[in-house]
Amino acid sequence: MPTHVILNNASLMLGPTATLAALKELACYTNHIELSPDTSTTTVDTMCGSIDYPGATTWTLVVTLYQSWDTPNGPEAVLEPLVDAAPTPCAFVISADRNNPISATNPGWSGTVMPAPYSPLNGDAGDPSEISLEWSLTAPPVKLTTPPAATQADLDKQLADAAKAEAAATAA
């Protein structure tokens, strides 16, 4: 029986640098996460027919967040400084299960994206305000099968903090 990936505990971390100490976990505000490639196609037409050739591939981090003014780790508190620092790229790390370490059976992806302005308040009457991000990667993402050794303690602390925050939110 196959084991399917269900994104009910995924991780989205964004920050000014790729150190886990600088990255902020946005999982509890995240509704949608997608790391999407787009490969252009060049068609060559000749008298013998047409042939499509793959071109350059660009990558985009697509995210939907529920807006919150929580500090220091709410969407506005995390995103605003990243956008204000543009055109400086920022770092991201994503994984399917934030309560388990990144591994071959729980891979993550990391890279840098170009922050772009977003709609800080968006929605209909009675609905939560959503933020939609489509930020371009500066290079192809890197698949992670092991967490960086130098930051394993940071990752363990962040996982514990996220579990505590989730438990507190559930209890409220």
pLDDT digits (tens, 9 = 90+) for 102-146: 999 999 999 999 999 999 999 999 999 999 999 999 999 999 998
Average pLDDT, the chain: 89
Question: Which 8-state DSSP code applies to residue 103?
Answer: B
- This prediction has a pTM of 0.81
Question: Which 8-state DSSP code applies to residue 76?
Answer: H
pLDDT tens-digit readout, 143-157: 999 875 445 555 566
Residue type, 38: D
Q: Which residue range(s) make up the domain with 94?
A: 11-171
Whether residue 22 is contained in a domain is answered as yes
What are the counts of helices (DSSP H) followed by strands (DSSP E) for the chain? 2, 8
Whether residue 18 is contained in a domain is answered as yes
Whether residue 3 is contained in a domain is answered as no
Whether residue 2 is contained in a domain is answered as no
Calpha distance 157→78 (Å, rounded): 19
**Residue 5 CB contacts under 8 Å (≥ 6 apart), including other chains:** 96
Identify each DSSP E strand in 67-103 by its residue range: 90-95
Please state the domain count of the chain. 1
pLDDT recorded at residue 63? 98
